[in-house]
Structure 1
């Protein structure tokens, strides 16, 4: 392997560099993080990947840094494939902060057009097409705010409904691309819209978005669980439409993942999610446009795989995989997640050929999404250091360049 190929990037390098700047020993860091000194040494030397959210959060908390400081999220913003999204973020920020009170002078689009565009942006987000999605968000937010400010009562109600969907889409996309604080602001706007239109779908979507942001912050797992569990309990008695059932189900799935990350048993929430999915077939459509069509029995099974991976149970992940057909998952991002979990499970069992095959299928399903995933980068970098030469000089080496763990 050439010297250039050894210049890979992994989380343990940043742990070592930050620990050195802090002037603390491996043993002190291990004690703070609740890990062994030997584990810290292996992470820092690249002998073991940091493939657990719990470990990553523990290290970030012990070092007093954010997850982005350890994962190098800033590198994602240099990816030309999603440059359009990152370029649009300042405009999204202005639209949210000013609530549309900007120097934008073009006439607002009609609510019929905005409704159609809101559904399109939601589909783009589910498909993980962030490059196309990003430039659409700020103008849509601005137009929604203008209808709320200038329209009559009927138009204002419709505008609040569209805003709830666009703000939720913005929150999810911003979180996925590493803008946690701005994602939180978008979730607040979605909640404001939800309070104005009534119903539970928007409230569920807001709580889900907030819990997702908190799940990526050291020390915030109890709050992440409270947002998911508490809102699910609050809205459950009033849930009846398809969109509301989808929102409730996603809250239970989120609660299952947070519970697993905290070392608990995710099964009660997964069971609740499965029972909630069973209500979809007979539910009325409802009037709100806010939906989460990815929720259903197949998605529940996928989150079972993710929860098992969070608990470091690769055998369980691989046992669950044949029970789910990827084509049954209604979104590219979900299909990618299916193959990522299989890839992580194979790697944990040191089956690097099986892992590589699964990761390549994941990348094919949703390249923009998969190439910026921390777990994928860490895993690919680990395989580059430990796998056979015929793997590292072929597809694995090319994948390592695409995900940014080695220089192009």
Structure 2
């Protein structure tokens, strides 16, 4: 847990103030601020913290120590309210003058919306999804396949934006409606990710192992879709294991995933599903992610040298997450300019994705703590990713 002095220092740098400027603005002596930030004093009187907080334009308890909520922010909750409602409410019967929805019409709409999902266009999707979800539900049994796909995508978006209860609702509904093992595995892939983000490592591991066993093909006869599906289950096994201090299991799963990728020979997206793109590059990305989890920034950067990152589309499922891993590795090794450059690259490519990433806040926090002063761009980025003051 950070001390009051560390919190004062972090906020002061975010505001672009020197210790002298903070002393002048707050009326607290320069000597007191220096001692507090250098740890010579573990705390300060509440009145001193209040003066500092007033000058820094933050609540006093931010400096004294307070909660740091991890749930979706109020803006996110408001933006997706209509989507969450559409996921849980029964379909509305069309009026007499309404054209009833059709399977082909919803399928075409979903196809046209594919670029919005692939490029994290959250504002547009929040407006589009409620009516699509309601219409798909109104189709009944004949709309099962398109409804499953829509629920898979909606669940994925809810995980992205940390609305975990809504994500579970969408994904469980999609799994219940799945017609076969492959369709079910596409949903389970995201369910495992949901469990990982919730910290349910044991559940994620058990679910991924179960489905890896159920989808394991005979490699010599496997189709690209089968190899991709099995490979992703193995990557989820590895991700859960490495986070749960099971390094042997993580390495074994990654080795099998590598074998599936080698057999596939290239990146493949079953049925053009960007969420399930799998191949040699994807395995390298996840190997780098695992290295970051075990705090091996040197290994992350070494793997990154072999990843053709600029040939990848800037979506949250591949390049953006990898760039965060690389940024984190640079920050851990003290190369703060390189780390910040990766964050700027992500912001340029996916401006609506970045603010939802707690990982980005962690990385920028390392940069902020490591630098004596912050540039104007760094202070702006801190506001973009919601780094707490």
Question: Are 1:309 and 2:292 counterparts?
Answer: yes
- Contact residue 293 and residue 330 of structure 1 kept, 8 A: no
Partner of 1:52: none
Distance across 2 between alignment mates of 1:284 and 1:176 = 23
| Per-residue deviation, residues 157-196 of structure 1 (Å, max 9, x unmatched) | xx211111111101110011111011001011111221xx
User: Aligned Cα RMSD in Å?
Assistant: 3.2
Shift of 1:363: 2.0
Which residue does 1:326 correspond to in 2? 309
Q: Is the 8 A contact 2:217 2:227 kept in 1?
A: no
Find out whether 1:102 has 2:92 as its counterpart: yes
Larger relative contact order (CA 8 Å, sep ≥ 6):
1
Counterpart of 2:12 (choices 2, 6, 17) is: 6
Match of 1:292 among 275, 298, 305: 275
Residue 370 (structure 2) pairs with residue 371 (structure 1)? no
Alignment correspondent of 1:257: 239
How far 1:145 sits from its partner (Å)?
A: 2.0
Contact 1:8 1:405 in 2 (8 A): no
Kindly indicate whether the alpha-carbon contact (under 8 Å) linking 2:235 and 2:253 is maintained by their aligned counterparts in 1.
Answer: yes
Task: Report the equivalent of 2:5.
Answer: none
* Mapped partners of 2:111, 2:218: distance in 1: 24
Change (3 A) 1:70 1:233: farther
**TM-score, structure 2 length as denominator?**
0.74
Please tell me whether Structure 1 or Structure 2 has the larger radius of gyration of its CA atoms: 2
Corresponding residue pairs, total: 327
- Counterparts of 2:125 and 2:177, CA distance in 1: 21
Residues 224-271 of structure 1: CA deviation (Å, up to 9, x unaligned):
111111111112249955444433222221221111111222222222
Aligned to 2:83: 92
Q: Secondary structure at the match of 2:360?
A: helix
Q: Contact 2:332–2:366 (CA<8 Å) still a contact in 1?
A: no
Aligned counterpart for 2:128 among listed residues 133, 136, 145: 136
Q: Is the 8 A contact 1:241 1:283 kept in 2?
A: no
Segments of 5+ residues of structure 2 without an aligned counterpart are: 1-7, 16-38, 44-66
- Answer yes or no: is the 8 Å Cα contact 2:314–2:349 preserved in 1: no
| Corresponding position of 1:402 | 384
CA distance in structure 2 between the partners assigned to 1:373 and 1:187 by the alignment: 21
Aligned to 1:207: 188
Normalization by structure 1: what TM-score? 0.71
Pairwise mapping of residues 224-239 of structure 1 onto structure 2 (< 5 A)? 224-237=204-217
1:73 correspondence with 2:65: no
* C-alpha separation in 2, matches of 1:261 and 1:285: 27
* Change beyond 3 A, Cα 1:338–1:289: closer
